[in-house]
Amino acid sequence: MKLIGITGPSGAGKSTALAYLARRGVTTIDTDKVYHRLLETDAGMARKLVMRFPGASIDGKIDRKLLAGIVFSDPKALHDLETATHPPIKHRVDKMLADYAAAGVEVVAIEAVSLIESGMAKDCDMVIAVLSGGANAARIQARDSLSPGGAKRRLASQKSDDFYREGAHIIITNDGSESVFDTELDVALMRLNEERDDS
């Protein structure tokens, strides 16, 4: 089974890339959705977050919007969040991948903003970094109902484009041209399929 990793900063278009690959028949994993599910089902992880971030807790449960307001303005808080969540997310993703492999799935794509930092990139046959060409601030303002300042703080808390360039096999710039974006993803998928056929 071949594994594609999709990463990049917030608002770059990772989810758009994942959705396109899904339409092309690729099995997909959205680690943000895995995280949201774990907040509901992993009592140990949820308890750690409530204890570390009481200001983001409502009735004993983590409010993701309150949590985002804390961690994206405090590097130490963001580090603590990642330390608490990366291991259970990776454990769950590994279980999903094992199930897919057992079912005979040939290609899986994983979307994760922290693909490289969490160690999941090491398991990928191809890592695609999706960059925005400077449009991501406006995108996350619209998507997450953020103020310009809130969008700026969120982006400032993340890795630089150079970080993603250094950790990826393929760089795709999502500058607003949907046809070019889709074509670049097709080329990446074709390259992966050729490598699979040669192996």
Question: What domains sit in the chain, N to C, each tagged with a CATH number?
Answer: 2-194 (3.40.50.300)
Higher pLDDT, 152 or 8: 8
For 181, residues 6+ apart whose C-beta sits below 8 A from its C-beta are 13, 16, 17, 20, 172, 174
Rounded CA-CA distance 77/71 in Å is 5
> Which band of pLDDT confidence, cut at 50, 70 and 90, is reported for residue 132?
confident
Neighbours of 60 (CB within 10 A): 8
Higher pLDDT, 49 or 10: 49
pLDDT of residue 174: 84
Question: How far is residue 194 from each of residues 54, 148, 189, 191, measured CA to CA in Å?
Answer: 50, 43, 9, 5
Mean pLDDT over the full length of the chain: 89
pLDDT of residue 159: 84
Q: pTM to 2 decimals? A: 0.87
Question: How far is residue 175 from each of residues 119, 133, 179, measured CA to CA in Å?
Answer: 28, 5, 11
> Which band of pLDDT confidence, cut at 50, 70 and 90, is reported for residue 135?
low
Averaged pLDDT, 111-137: 87
Tokens of 56: 């983001």
Rounded CA-CA distance 35/86 in Å is 9
